Amino acid sequence: MTTQNFNNRFVERRLRRGTQTMRELRDELRITSEQLAFIEGEAHEKEMRAMVAETADAALEHHEAQRTLETIHKYHQHLLSS
């Protein structure tokens, strides 16, 4: 095997891995985008419930929903920057 053949195989292998990684990241981004949209709706609904109910339980649910939303949003941003 010549050096050129070795280099070509190495580059091809790296390109295949890179392509696979990009495919996986696109899938992960698609799924995370769907989750983000759903969780945003849930957080908004719990915010409305907390304002109407004015109970500690409703406020806690809203707080937890906001934390979950912030976490998934950060992960979504991470995927966008990858």
Which burial class, exposed, middle or buried, applies to 14 when counting CB atoms under 10 A from its CB (0-12, 13-18, 19+)?
A: exposed
Q: Is the pLDDT of residue 1 over 70?
A: no
Distance CA 6, CA 35 (A): 43
pTM for this model (two decimals): 0.76
pLDDT digits (tens, 9 = 90+) for 48-77: 999 999 899 999 999 999 999 999 999 999
